[in-house]
Copies of this chain bind each other. A is one copy, B any other.
Amino acid sequence: MSGRGRIFPNLCNLKLTRQIQNYPGAMNSGVNLKELAAELKLSPSTVSRALNDSYEISAETKKKVISMAEKLNYQPNPFARSLRENKSKTIAVVIPERINNFFAQVIDGIEHITQQHGYHLLVYNTHEDVDKEKKIISLLLNGRADAIVMSVSSQTSDVSHLERLHERGVPLIFFDRICSGIPTTKFITNDYESTFEGTRHLLQQGCKKIAFLMLSKELSITKERLRGYQDAIREAGLESESCLNITCCQNEEKNIELIRDLLLSENRPDGILASVEKLALATYQAVKRTNLRMPDDLKIISFSNMNIAGLLNPSLTTITQPAFTIGEECAKLLIRKLTRPKQPDLLNQVITVPSKITIRSSTVAG
């Protein structure tokens, strides 16, 4: 035992230990509470309390502990904490599509709020597949996430998996594509009104035959938007022809062909309301396969959160949801629910955030 070695005797031991633990393949989360306590010649309980700013610990001790914790770069083990506190500081986000500006913006909004409160985001993509959705939900049944924010897949009609989740007591929030059967809070845009307005706009631009493109009749947004579309058609004294209500599928190429066939049929529409962005883009592709010109022969308006709607040819008239805000609102509500002790369950209500219509060339006669 040399004098030199005794300056930081414990520190030296510590470094040795850390090197030993640091073999390849092992997670090395650095120093732990017990080691930190030993370094300070205090008990783990005291150190824990000091770091959590407990009133039972003197200011002096707190200072020492905090300083040493920083020096050794102590990071509490999140799993020990989760196990003990029965919460994970993690929120799961389940979406049907990742390559989609709307969902990406919503997630950005969620992250913006949750990050401020130390929450982490698990993100899952169902790919519009209800079986994948069920698997993901069953994975979340074990408490890995403290709460779930989701938009259901277009295939989802049986919602028993979501009911189970909700009954388990996992806070669950829907946005955009909601499940009205599950008694919780949902955030949507004013689907009915904005579609109504959008359709009316097409009518004002001279459209006589307007087709409605949708993904699936099961979807909450489809139902509401279809209703808005139909009411606007009827208000204009026109007939809502069911042959103009087109249900598309998940296959892009098939959709393009389907729409092309529609555009070449006898009953050809002169206007299109696409209930989702993807179908507007398919329409653009379909039009390229015909001799039709937009907006002269065909006008189109669509729900879309594309930042480059203005760069399309013709530039696309859009109904744009405040996606980032929707994400933020979902997150704010959840944070309230999760951080306040014994907070009541999420109210069974639908909160509407209005969309904004931006008129561009695709609906304005050349």
Q: Given A82-B79, A99-B104, A125-B108, verify A29-B343 contact (CB < 8 Å).
A: no
- Complex CA–CA separation, A27 to B26 (angstroms): 30
Q: Which residues of B contact A23 (CB under 8 A)?
A: 342
Known: A98-B104, A308-B281. A79 touches B88 (CB 8 A): yes
Q: Which of A117-148 contact B (CB under 8 A)?
A: 120-125, 139, 141-144, 146
- Contact with A24, one of B30, B80, B105, B169 (Cβ below 8 angstroms): B169
> Which of the 9-residue segments A70-78, A263-271, A351-359 touches chain B?
A70-78
Chain B residues with CB under 8 Å of A105's CB are: 98-99
Complex CA gap A22/B168 in Å reads: 8
Please name all residues of chain B whose beta carbon is closer than 8 Å to the beta carbon of A29 when the two chains form the complex.
141-143, 168
Residues of chain B within 8 A of A344, CB atoms compared: 24
In the complex, are the beta carbons of A120 and B120 less than 8 A apart? no
Q: How far is the CB of A184 from chain B (nearest CB, A)?
A: 12
Kindly state whether residue A107 has any CB partner on chain B within 8 Å.
Answer: yes
Which B residues touch A311, using CB under 8 A? 281, 284-285, 312-313
Segment 285-328 of A: residues with Cβ below 8 Å from B: 285, 307-308, 310-313
Which of A24, A281, A337 counts the most chain B CB atoms within 10 A?
A24
Asked if A86 lies at the interface with its beta carbon under 8 angstroms from chain B, I say yes
A342 touches B77 (CB 8 A): no
CA distance A142 to B124 in the complex (A): 23
> Are the C-beta atoms of A143 and B77 separated by less than 8 Å?
yes
Q: Which residue of B lies closest to A146 (CB)?
A: B27
Closest to A89 in B: B144
Residue of B nearest to A316 (CB): B311
Chain B residues positioned under 8 Å from A104 (CB to CB): 98-100, 104
Closest B residue to A144 by beta carbon equals B78
Interface 0/1 of A60-92, CB less than 8 Å to B: 000000000000010111111011001110100
In the assembly, what is the distance between CA of A303 and CA of B284, in Å?
23
> Is the CB–CB distance between B83 and A77 below 8 Å?
yes
Knowing A78-B143, A143-B29, A284-B311, the reply to whether A98 touches B108 (Cβ < 8 A) is yes
Complexed CA–CA distance, A24 and B17 (Å): 43
Least Cβ distance of A336 to chain B in Å? 12
Q: Does A237 contact B (CB under 8 A)?
A: no
Which of B120, B121, B170 touches A27 (beta carbons < 8 Å)? B170
Query: Could you tell me if A108 and B99 are in contact, using CB atoms closer than 8 angstroms?
Result: yes
A111 at the interface (CB under 8 A from B): yes
Contacts A99-B307, A281-B308, A311-B312 hold; do A83 and B79 have CB atoms under 8 A apart?
yes
In the complex, A25 has a CB within 8 A of chain B = yes
Nearest CB in chain B: distance from A276 CB, A: 14
Of the residues B107, B143, B312, B341, contact of A312 by C-beta under 8 Å: B312
The 7 closest A-B pairs by CB, nearest first: A313-B313, A75-B142, A29-B143, A79-B82, A79-B83, A28-B169, A99-B104
Could you list 9 A-B pairs, sorted by A, with CB under 8 Å? Answer: A26-B86, A27-B143, A30-B141, A30-B142, A78-B143, A79-B80, A99-B307, A123-B123, A312-B313
Task: Please name 6 further chain A to chain B contacts, defined as beta carbons within 8 Å, in addition to the given A27-B87, A98-B108, A99-B101, sorted by A numbering.
Answer: A78-B143, A98-B104, A99-B307, A121-B123, A122-B122, A308-B312
